[in-house]
Structure 1
Amino acid sequence: MMVLQNYANLENVLVGPHGEMYTASHHANETVNVKIEGVSVAAEEEDPLRIAVQEIKAEPESTLNELQPVHGEERQYSCDECGESFSQRFNLKAHKRVHSGERPFSCSMCYKSFSRQSNLKAHQRIHSGERPFFCDVCNKSFTCLSNLKTHQRIRSGEGPFSCDVCDKSFCEQGDLKKHGRIHNGERPFSCSVCYKSFSRQSNLKTHQRIHSGERPYSCDVCNKSFSEQGYLKKHGRIHSGERPFCCNICNKSFSEQGYLKKHGRIHNGERPFSCSVCYKSFSRQSHLKTHQRIHSGDRPFFCDACNKSFSEQGYLKKHGRIHNGERPFSCSVCYKSFSRQSHLKTHQRIHSGERPFFCDACNKSFSFVSNLKTHQLIHVDVCSKS
């Protein structure tokens, strides 16, 4: 017989010696006698039968329920907001915090708050360094049991939850549900500021930092901060020099997978972005956008010194050197410096003797196109005299 005394308004999950789960709820200051398979033990004593208190403040009308396995229970508690149903009232109550935004459990170290006490407990392991869950195969450790289970499924290649539309499989049912929104277009999470909607709550939370200006991820090297951890990770490669994405054709490496994908179009000739006016195509969307300014006449970049406008920021930067006198490109032979790299390249032909411009009439060569054009006037004069 199990005796539970003076536990105010608790709903409990009882876990048996073989992992089976049962539920019971009772009122304050009541003594509840529960007989389970002939086992008799006081609540304080150590025993294979453990009590996991899941929720405080049970509803006043709660009474002692007949014990039954959790997995066999009817999902009789439904959420008024989204219709999701639960077999336990405390699970419904915890779920409702997703909609209300209530996060009553706070970390005493960093003050981050959580909707569930179990999530707080898992979070606190970040500060303590505790990683109590170990993989039997590779001995890798985890702070959460769910992370270990996900890791084990990845190792085994198990993906028990499959999408009916595209057959993609997932280790977690929740991940399958989130994925399903790609196909059905569901976007249940909306921004209260601009009303933009998202398929995932995490995406909404990240988006909201645009409005709040929050940038919680800081670089340890230069102290630059970012709104997303992924941006911080990409930025970190500037300092580390890491370029993990490699082209299998020319072996050039990149810090981001997106850069590798764009680079790949050089080799495969893919130009997926087309101009709707002249149908010229480009390998990058940014190049198309720049090109379209030719048709629109848009010149959004202005010089602060002379108010001259440009269609590209790069052109403005080059122009700015006229005013500031900057000449960053130097000749390695005579050390003469230039404001533009193209001017340096032209100058270097003096030293190399390169003469890439040829006259069609007499085949004479020149270092500069301007010299070729001047020369061609000789042939024009000859033709006019004859």
Structure 2
Amino acid sequence: MPERFDVIVVGAGAAGLMCAITAGQRGRRVLVLDHANKPGKKILMSGGGRCNFTNLDIEAEHFLSANPHFCKSALSRYTQWDFIALVASHSIPYHEKSDGQLFCDHSSKDILQMLLAEAGQAGVEVRLNTGVETPVQIPNGGWSVLTNKGELSADSVVIATGGPPIPTLGATDWGHRIARHFGHEILPYRPSLVPYTADLEHKATWSELSGVSMRAELTVASRSWVGDVLFTHRGLSGPAVLQITNYWREGEPVVINWCPDQDVLVAWQRDRHSQGRKQLRTWLSEQLPRRFVNGLMQGWPGAEQTLADIRQDAMAQLAEKLHRYSFQPSGTEGYRTAEVTLGGVSTTEISSRTMESQRHAGLFFIGEVLDVTGHLGGYNFQWAWSSGHAAGEVV
């Protein structure tokens, strides 16, 4: 006879652990399975090792989905304040970094240890290094789950395996394949919250600027975003770049305003008389990183001129280059460094209240595997907590 549980959760990440904790606290016998050798690997590496675990401003507008209303129910029933209260109950120190983003003061390990402690208290069992085959629905109700360590059975199976990003941590598209097997539509998915790669021309120029960070505005066809941009050896990264990749489509240009906080032409007209003897390069370097200015003006004939000497038409050309710079990415760094998957299991036949499949009783999908993607800034973790909690209340 297979070993029997009330609930089997596949995936020991943020959503899976939250679901298991919630179900365990209801007295359910819960087993969490994961093929990795450690739980919560993405939790540990998130936020530069400090885990941006939620955001103070959780609204549906910060999430992308073919059904923008789907996330509202779960987010409203297990809020950021609920998770913050849990963090506080474990005396984990945290701080707001910017734009409502909450980070651990010390380490992401604090969040993972909190979740594992809660799971232990709720009687949840976690088994690692366990490969799982496609679950089989039992005709009279329930599920059979075959693993590399034997057969199991449960009333409910929860798919919490996320998506393909960061395959070095063991991430795969297993959850999407399972959903497709059971007749669910899989919307086209791709890596997002991911750095851009540059073409050869830009790569040669920008590699010399690697490490330079500056505030800029990035615009694609459907959205603009202001924030920090970081030059890398491969192309562009930084918060503004990661955010805009949620809206960018391959082949689209990205228009960059390198100086979003003031009009350079207007500033030049203002300063050309009072600071007329100042070299243009020096003047720009007071507003923008010097290495960036040197790269921008390399080979430009007006680089050494003063504010008073430079012609208006030449200054207008420079302003155009600063405020409306068109960059055609060669692509992105892909799943290797992406933080999330954009797209995934269609929510059309998933209950927004319980996360249960409307095609197969007792089959649930939570977290990143679903077609719900948050902005950068703790939103994807909050979706994991909220969707996991929603399923955990009913499994």
TM category (shorter chain) comes to: under 0.3
Normalised TM-score (structure 1): 0.21
Bigger radius of gyration, 1 or 2?
Answer: 1
Normalised TM-score (structure 2): 0.20
* Greater relative contact order (CA < 8 Å, ≥ 6 in sequence): 2
Return the structure number with greater strand share: 2
